[in-house]
């Protein structure tokens, strides 16, 4: 993808945004509480189209392009309100992710945990394990997509840090693909901050699926790094997903039922209601990702040390739970 094409996204988005708003097509749901919480403006859910165009035009495997398209369509049908059932979407995601892994024979080894390595010697269990990890990352990414550019900035951080630390560690990766993706994400962030587009379910599913496959291959090509660096890289969407499931079970709600008690929602409420900050939506994602930038940077400083990566993951979990409980109590009082 050329730089000219990437920068052309700005005028194209402005035109499409006006067109979709006029035609009332593919807009953020006016009746969906989750998206209504994020913005009351009419914003087209077209960010995923640009991510898909990028994936289809870069030099990657045909299988990844085909299954990225299928993942995108699953999210698009959700955005169009044709595929309302979260259960059906998850089933489709599982089928697509597992089939991709099976056809490409993509497996993970050398996890530095003996009993896991013994279990994953069986191909079926290996595919199922990776499928579970990908699905958790995908749906967790969809969960954190509740304040402006939270998802886009998070994945921008991931790929930027990989590029930044590449020379120091002499990592094996496709630099041109990542650099173009970074530029695309920056453009989408600018447009998202100005309410010209949302990435929608199609975009959040797609960027997380593509990134999950990329990170698996990244680890397989760079066996010197700790596998727990990959866990640390995706800790936020994955833990958001798992924490939300436990939280909803605890209060008797369905784990797949959307709500507005995710971490970013509570932070947004605190900034908006308690601190009376005008641009609380944008600031919420900036604060969350400032923390992620710091913690991920520490992780990249010692990419081979598994114990250090596990320590950082534990710090994240403890810090997340502590701040969440504080924000939740403040939310209950207000």
Across 96-124, average pLDDT: 89
Going by C-alpha positions, the residue among 152, 137, 145 that lies closest to residue 263 is: 145
Q: If pLDDT is split at 50, 70 and 90, which confidence band does 113 have?
A: confident
Q: For residue 182, is pLDDT > 70?
A: yes
Q: What's the mean pLDDT when you consider all of the chain?
A: 90
**What is the tens place of the pLDDT at every residue in 191-203?**
998 889 999 999 9
Share of the chain above pLDDT 90, in %: 67
In eight-state DSSP terms, residue 245 is H
CA distance 271 to 275: 5
Identify the pLDDT of residue 228: 95
Domain count, the chain: 1
Global pTM value: 0.93
Identify the pLDDT of residue 250: 87
CA distance 38 to 127: 36
Number of H helices and E strands in the chain, helices first, is: 17, 0
Share of the chain above pLDDT 70, in %: 95
Q: If pLDDT is split at 50, 70 and 90, which confidence band does 28 have?
A: confident
Q: For residue 132, is pLDDT > 50?
A: yes
Angle at Cα 195 formed by Cα 259 and Cα 138, nearest 5°? 45
Q: For residue 100, is pLDDT > 60?
A: yes
Domain that holds residue 270: 3-333
Identify the pLDDT of residue 31: 43
Q: For residue 22, is pLDDT > 90?
A: no
Q: For residue 306, is pLDDT > 80?
A: yes
CA distance 295 to 306: 15
Across 213-237, average pLDDT: 95
Across 303-328, average pLDDT: 96
């Amino acid at each position: 993808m050329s730089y000219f094409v990437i920068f052309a996204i700005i005028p194209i988005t402005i035109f499409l945004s006006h067109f979709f708003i006029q035609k009332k097509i593919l807009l953020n749901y006016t009746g969906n509480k989750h998206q209504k919480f994020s913005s009351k403006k009419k914003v087209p859910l077209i960010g995923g189209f640009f991510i898909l165009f990028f994936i289809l035009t870069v030099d990657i495997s045909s299988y990844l392009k085909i299954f990225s398209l299928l993942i995108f369509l699953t999210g698009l049908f959700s955005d169009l309100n044709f595929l309302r059932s979260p259960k059906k979407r998850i089933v489709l995601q599982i089928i697509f992710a597992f089939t991709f892994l099976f056809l490409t024979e993509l497996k993970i080894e050398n996890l530095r945990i003996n009993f896991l390595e013994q279990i994953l010697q069986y191909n079926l269990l290996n595919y199922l394990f990776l499928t579970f990890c990908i699905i958790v990352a995908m749906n967790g990414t969809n969960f954190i997509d509740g304040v402006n550019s939270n998802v886009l900035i998070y994945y921008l951080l991931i790929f930027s840090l990989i590029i930044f630390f590449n020379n120091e560690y002499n990592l094996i990766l496709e630099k041109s693909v990542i650099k173009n993706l970074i530029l695309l994400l920056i453009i989408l962030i600018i447009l998202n901050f100005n309410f010209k587009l949302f990435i929608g379910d199609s975009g959040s599913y797609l960027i997380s699926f593509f990134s999950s496959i990329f990170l698996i291959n990244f680890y397989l090509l760079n066996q010197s790094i700790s596998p727990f660096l990959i866990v640390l890289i995706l800790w936020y969407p994955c833990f958001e997903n798992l924490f939300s499931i436990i939280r909803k079970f605890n209060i008797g709600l369905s784990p797949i039922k959307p709500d507005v008690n995710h971490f970013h929602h509570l932070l947004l409420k605190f900034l908006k209601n308690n601190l009376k900050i005008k641009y609380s939506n944008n600031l919420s994602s900036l604060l969350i990702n400032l923390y992620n930038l710091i913690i991920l940077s520490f992780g990249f400083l010692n990419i081979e040390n598994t114990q250090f990566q596990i320590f950082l993951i534990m710090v994240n979990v403890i810090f997340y739970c502590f701040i969440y409980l504080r924000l939740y109590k403040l939310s209950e009082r207000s």
